[in-house]
Structure 1
Amino acid sequence: MKITLTVNGSRRELEVDDRRLLADVLREELGLTGTKVGCSHGVCGSCTVHVDGRAVRSCIMLAVQADGRAVRTVEDLAAPDGTLHPLQQAFSEEHALQCGFCTPGFLMTALPAVEAGAPLDAGQARELVSGNICRCTGYDGIVGAVVRASAICAGAAASGAEAER
């Protein structure tokens, strides 16, 4: 079946089997291996991507369900010059990763709330990422990174609003 996706801002036309999962198409057809498949049941969150701005588990979404839609993967977070997104930078600074397998899913899960422009407290951050699983580390570093990044993005949003006045 022929589908058209806009992946990380680029329009892509693909021929896919109608039973093919979005995660597999992203990884195997498009070479976007940042999206991980941990459980294949939509439980662990490592396969999280955004479809039309909404976080979805790509290991349980068929590629044909994304036809005509915008897909954003973790590869799209850093700037073209390689500058890390504040959330990626916060993960590094808070030592929020070890093996890194689950990290893309945590980043994509937290991204909308972080970019919303309001700082999150630890409880809100913990709730936000509670559907993702990390087998290597405790969640304190991850929660700290989300809190830090939300404060940075909230500060940038406030600075932008002040500049517009």
Structure 2
Amino acid sequence: MRTSSVALAAALAVVSITTSLSGQKTDTAIDPRSIQLLEQGRAQKASGNLDGATDTLETAVAVDPRNRAAFVTLAEVADARDLPGKAIRLYREALLLEPNDVAALRGQGEALVAKGAVIRARENLVKIRKLCKTGCTDATVLAAVIAKGPPVTTAAVVIKPAVAKE
């Protein structure tokens, strides 16, 4: 009697869990509206409309926060606008969804080099090389960016014209 009530309770728990799981969307199913907005954002980026692309891609992410490709494209737009810090954050969001995304690792590595974080970029290169067993263009591109190093910035010097005395 005692074991039958425990077995009944366990069976009810299993039925309720499987019923709730079968009603949920799978993790790989991204909202079609988000995918459509992603394509619009890519077209705007390709045409040079970076402001419009940013707005459209942010909407795509708002519609479905699991749209990793939208995060990657949004990060590429941030790179094009010379905003490496924002790009690093957006690539990190994509990598939280899929840690083995080679394109996101490469993009984040490039943005890290632009910010001067070459050591962290090398860590991304190691991850890419582990994921790509044979020749990988992403690894080659990131290795070249790391070898080139961060951009040299100089302080802006303002030269004031000499004032003529009367």
TM-score range, shorter chain: 0.3 to 0.5
Q: TM-score, normalised by structure 2?
A: 0.33
Q: TM-score, normalised by structure 1?
A: 0.34
Structure having the higher Rg: 2
Decide which structure has greater helix share.
2
Structure number with the bigger relative contact order (C-alpha 8 A, sep ≥ 6) is 1
Decide which structure has greater strand share.
1
